Structure 1
Amino acid sequence: MYDFERATHTHCKVPNYLPSISAAIGGFTPQRYIWRTCIGLHSAPRFMVAIAYYNFHMSLELAQHSKTYGIIAAVACFLHIIENAALLGLTYVASNENHGVHEKFFIMFLVSSLLYMLLTLILIKWGRSYHGRVMTSNEKYSLKIKFILFIFNITCCIMAAYTFWRHNAYCEPGAYTTFAISEYGIVASNIMFHFLWMGYDMRNTEWIVLGYRVKLKPYDALV
């Protein structure tokens, strides 16, 4: 609304119709302040969720019989924490302030996010079907949607890398717009993947935060 021309401007000076996320939030106000405030506020609960999800995986019978399963769960938890820390890093170090550091945080976010998704799929499939156990309909649905989001996320990452290269190599009109769309897809699928833990993986569980009890309800109850 206020900074469209500057947010979509690139060194190629070719038509571009969408800003990248970094361009939209990095150099303009109040966008930058809103983004940093929201990411900062929700990062603390996300660190808590990483530990809770580790306990969720380790609560299964398989954790008592397989050291490999426990190691994978611990690595997934570590990647979840790294992903959140990288998100904080790329949020508070804007690309127009220190492009090199911002880029490294962004790559760290992408790599840790994809590896975390992959290990989560392995843990759910392995742990929930261990020793002849039949997965519930909610577990099957959660695994199916997570797999779709994982494939979609990888596809968006490949598209983003390819279109970013095309943009810099050939300065084609619309290449950077396609990169921005791919970037939006990466973020949206990441959000949805993480959001599934509340409605399906940990439905009807009870959390105690600073003495307050919080009961997670399934999606159908929320709707």
Structure 2
Amino acid sequence: MNPHQFLLPLTLHPSFEMGDFIVSSSNEEALSWLGKWPEWPSRTLLIYGSQGSGKSHLASIWKSNARLLRPEEITVETLEVILTKSQNHFILDNAEYVKDEEALFHFLNATRQGDGSLLLLSQTPPREWGLTLPDLQSRLNALIAVGIQEPDDHLMRGLIKKYALDQQIPLSVDVLNYLFHHLPRSYQGLWASLEYINAEALRKKRGITIPLVREALLEHTLII
């Protein structure tokens, strides 16, 4: 295979195995608290971080058999059904978007009093959710809430390599170093730029070289 070949579909999914999680100072505290289960205070843990920071990866590591809930599922009407099913371990993604604050308050109480567990995922800490129910705010403030920081150098290099591996893209050392020095230092910027480079290489039917990456990054900057 040509070492610069980059003509693969964009539908390959990232691996969420434990061995594929890249640990650095940006996320090691979150991973450490995940490993303390089931000794979480109130049987609940909240992990927050920007989109693309690895929260879903951590959730998949924690419990593959936990029930994944969306914000719109947390209502007073549906809560009883959720809590009476045999599953008692839950992952609530995008928790900050739950509209029914009373239902979320009761959900937290039920988890605290029962034998289940709850992993809350959000992009921001609870103090930034704009809540109006004081009891809910107080309960959330009392939880262990661990933030994932923007990627440090070690994590940046690791995430670029992981993206290439997940998409089955061979990257030369020179291209990897160029990407490391020129990609945005944020999760959202990193993933958006890599996706754009991938798409441009496919569209132009060109291999991944520093000139191609330079062109794509310039175009992407102009677009956004």
- TM-score by length of structure 1 reads 0.28
Bigger strand fraction:
2
- TM-score by length of structure 2 reads 0.28
